[in-house]
Copies of this chain bind each other. A is one copy, B any other.
Amino acid sequence: MQYRPVAINLADRPKASQCHDCGARHIGLCGALSDDDLALLTRVAQSIAVAAGQLLVDEGAPAAHFFNINRGTVRLFKSLPDGRRQITGFMGVGQFLGLKVTTQPPAGAVYAFGAEAIDDVQLCRFGRAGLISALEDFPALEHRLLAVASDELVAAQDQMLLLGRKTARERLASFLLAWAAQTHHLPADAIHAGAALAVPMTRTDLADYLGLTIETVSRTLSQLRRDGLVAIHGAHEIALLKPREIAAIAHNLAG
């Protein structure tokens, strides 16, 4: 059974026409827009619920939409024909989704990744053509999109370093810090000790994200626990007891 952290309260589902209620109103892409601009954008937006485990974006399908996540967590991935899978990122509240497309001469833009809901997800869906034409009227939106793309590129470089050159222990340490920072909307060096970290993804997800096997993820987490660096409460909650030491492992520092 998929992990479901909270029951969805149907009464407070954000509607695209009610952006001011939305948990993502002031972060990410929407945070860059004025109320007036946002009101115009809602013309091309729909609010959509996606249940845990459901496919949201199919790799290779025509890219018809952009998405903005308002609740829950999404995994992005690429697959090989024999079933090997690489998760390329986890997207949370406020994050924008859909830039990674390839333009193929006959078919037009197709998604270069798959996306699935890890837990129950609520998101805004924008028609691709509509949003792109809206860029003409909102240069601030395009600036913001470029900034989003730039941030994702930086994160992608970091992940390449992790996948190409880090040990299993370093990978887990890097992930825990980065995930805590992303979850709490904080810089990685501002994580405070002992705070509980929700980890909605399964061990299989972690393995496919970190380029390891599920067994190595499990063993390495157990080792971090034995070393007193983390506390593990069930499979989906981890407390970072010593963030500085975890950071030292992640970034290969002396301390």
Residues of chain A touching chain B, judged by Cβ–Cβ distance below 8 Å, are: 76, 78, 80-82, 84-86, 88, 99-102, 112-113, 135-136, 139, 142-143, 145-146, 149-154, 156-161, 163-166, 208-211, 251-254
Residue of B nearest to A211 (CB): B164
A interface secondary structure, majority = helix
Known A142-B142, A164-B211; contact A153-B99, beta-carbon cutoff 8 A: yes
Q: List 16 A-B contacts (CB under 8 A).
A: A78-B160, A80-B165, A81-B251, A84-B252, A86-B161, A88-B160, A99-B146, A99-B150, A100-B153, A102-B151, A113-B157, A139-B139, A156-B159, A163-B164, A164-B208, A164-B210
Tell me the bound Cα distance from A100 to B147 in angstroms.
10
A49 → chain B closest CB, angstroms: 26
Tell me the bound Cα distance from A135 to B132 in angstroms.
17
In the complex, besides A81-B251, A86-B160, 4 extra interface pairs with C-beta distance below 8 angstroms are A76-B157, A81-B254, A142-B146, A149-B153
A165 → chain B closest CB, angstroms: 4
A80 partner residues in chain B, CB cutoff 8 A: 161, 165-166, 251-252
Tell me the bound Cα distance from A113 to B150 in angstroms.
12
Give the residue of B81, B154, B160 whose beta carbon is less than 8 angstroms from that of A101.
B154
Tell me the bound Cα distance from A127 to B210 in angstroms.
37
Residue of B nearest to A153 (CB): B100
Asked if A154 and B86 sit within 8 Å, CB to CB, the answer is no
Asked if A156 and B164 sit within 8 Å, CB to CB, the answer is no
Residue of B nearest to A82 (CB): B252
Residue of B nearest to A209 (CB): B164
Known A78-B160, A139-B136, A159-B160; contact A84-B165, beta-carbon cutoff 8 A: yes
A201 → chain B closest CB, angstroms: 15
A90 → chain B closest CB, angstroms: 13
A172 → chain B closest CB, angstroms: 14
Tell me the bound Cα distance from A26 to B252 in angstroms.
43
Tell me the bound Cα distance from A132 to B82 in angstroms.
44
A151 → chain B closest CB, angstroms: 8
